[in-house]
Structure 1
Amino acid sequence: MTILAGIGAGPWDALNVGLAMITPFSVGNWVIFIGMLLIILNALLTRSKPVIHSLLTIVLIGYLIDFWLIIVFNDLLFSGLMLKVFVLLVGIVIIAFGASIYLQAEFAIIPIDGFMFALRDLLKVKLMVAKTITELIALVAALIVGGPIGIGTLLITFLIGPLIQFFFPRMKKRIHWKEAGEKEFL
């Protein structure tokens, strides 16, 4: 939704779209390639082995992005600034909400979020600060490759971290409430 809104993709998406525009590879392919690079970078930053099972996550995401962009929404264009902003904002909330849920599983997190956690631990900052830093790094890279940057990019850059920070503890509380209840009875 954030790509299709047409008012600037998120920094990582802008990077992937920009790279897809100047190479023969698709946006989904670049999600996979960048993900592989981030797996290596995350291992270096955390001084640990690469999280190889994250490959499964990025391959799945890469192919799903291509499926949605190429097959499902191939010719979909939104018109009118208000509709574009609405689609973008809904997309941002869905991404933050979804990320806060899937991060609870602590299994095969996408390399972008692994990068966020690595920076959080390395820099000793809050999750939203680390996420904003990773988004700014991607934004600079997207600018270099000529990705679709606009007001939407800035909104995603500065809203996604705080929204994940907002949703994360609430989802953790909801997801783990049953575990806490079971422990009381054991």
Structure 2
Amino acid sequence: MLVRRLVALYSGLWLYGFSMAVMIRAGLGLDPWDVFHQGVAEHVPISFGLVTAVTGVVVLLLWIPLRQKPGLGTISNVIVIGISVDAGLWLLPDWESMPARIAAMLLAVVLNAAATVLYIGAGMGPGPRDGLMTGLVRRTGWSVRLIRTTIEVTVLVIGFVLGGSVGIGTVVYAFGIGPLIQLMIPLVNRHLPGFQEPHVTEPVLRPEPLAPQPDPAT
């Protein structure tokens, strides 16, 4: 079972990075974090993959005050995805025709969803960005929706200002990734039973226990 989880973890992480490279080469807009990575890469003399890895390390530092604990999957996320996206950008050409770019963009979103199900489903620790979200949810008591939206809008705006690519692909990713992940969970569970379903539950707010009241009969 451990071997199966490790294979799923590393194949998922590699596929995730490769899907990012496909999305970049399609040139029709990126997901919010990649808009940020691309915007930063426009201003520093390092590769897109290295920017992704460095961002992951910085986000991990934000885990410290949140008391989040990284796992093998967390550390692997920082390393493997950065290498994979640079390898994908080296291998893949720039597509000229619009039909090819649209097809590549759609394929990238599907691959990204499959990769997410694999690496989170392996249950060996969330990625730095997912862990930041879950840590903030736990510490603040705010909803997952509010925290995730706030984070992604923030990085999207910063990335756009820095020159990151925003377009129809950004919209397709935002609205398509959730339903695709939900669709793929049963398929993965069918072939790899025992995986953890990739989801984050809303925090449950429990009332404080009432102080004991004096017995009126005494």
TM range, smaller chain: 0.7 to 0.9
Alignment of 1:33-112 (within 5 A): 33-44=54-65, 47-51=66-70, 53=72, 54-69=74-89, 71-73=90-92, 76-112=93-129
Q: Match of 2:37?
A: 16
Runs of 4+ in 1 over 6 A off after TM superposition: none
- Scaled by the length of structure 1, what TM-score is found? 0.76
**Contact 2:41-2:48 within 8 A present in 1 as well:** yes
Question: Once the two structures are superposed, what CA deviation does each residue of 1:134-184 show, in whole Å capped at 9, x if it has no partner?
Answer: 433331221121111111122212322332244335534653269xxxxxx
Q: For the residues of structure 2 that align with 1:165 and 1:131, how far apart are their CA atoms?
A: 17
Distance 1:16 1:111, change over 3 A: same
- Count of residues in correspondence between the two structures: 171
Structure 2 unpaired stretches of 5+:
1-21, 196-218
Q: Match of 2:177?
A: 160
Q: For the residues of structure 1 that align with 2:133 and 2:103, how far apart are their CA atoms?
A: 27
Q: For the residues of structure 2 that align with 1:159 and 1:97, how far apart are their CA atoms?
A: 12
The residue type paired with residue 142 of structure 2 is L
Q: For the residues of structure 2 that align with 1:112 and 1:52, how far apart are their CA atoms?
A: 13
**Contact 1:15-1:147 within 8 A present in 2 as well:** yes
Structure with max Cα Rg: 2
Q: Match of 1:184?
A: none
Alignment of 1:103-142 (within 5 A): 103-118=120-135, 122-125=141-144, 134-142=151-159
The residue type paired with residue 94 of structure 2 is L
1:146 equivalent to 2:174? Answer: no
Structure 1 unpaired stretches of 5+:
179-186
Distance 1:114 1:95, change over 3 A: same
Q: Give the alignment's Cα RMSD to 1 decimal.
A: 2.7
Identity, in percent, stands at 27
Q: After TM superposition, give the deviation of residue 62 of structure 1 in Å.
A: 0.8
Distance 1:88 1:19, change over 3 A: same
Task: Considering fraction of residues, name the structure with more helix.
Answer: 1
Q: Match of 2:49?
A: 28
Could you say what secondary structure the match of 2:56 adopts? helix
Distance 1:172 1:141, change over 3 A: farther
The residue type paired with residue 140 of structure 1 is V
Q: For the residues of structure 1 that align with 2:125 and 2:111, how far apart are their CA atoms?
A: 20
- Scaled by the length of structure 2, what TM-score is found? 0.66
Q: For the residues of structure 1 that align with 2:194 and 2:126, how far apart are their CA atoms?
A: 22
Distance 1:130 1:100, change over 3 A: farther
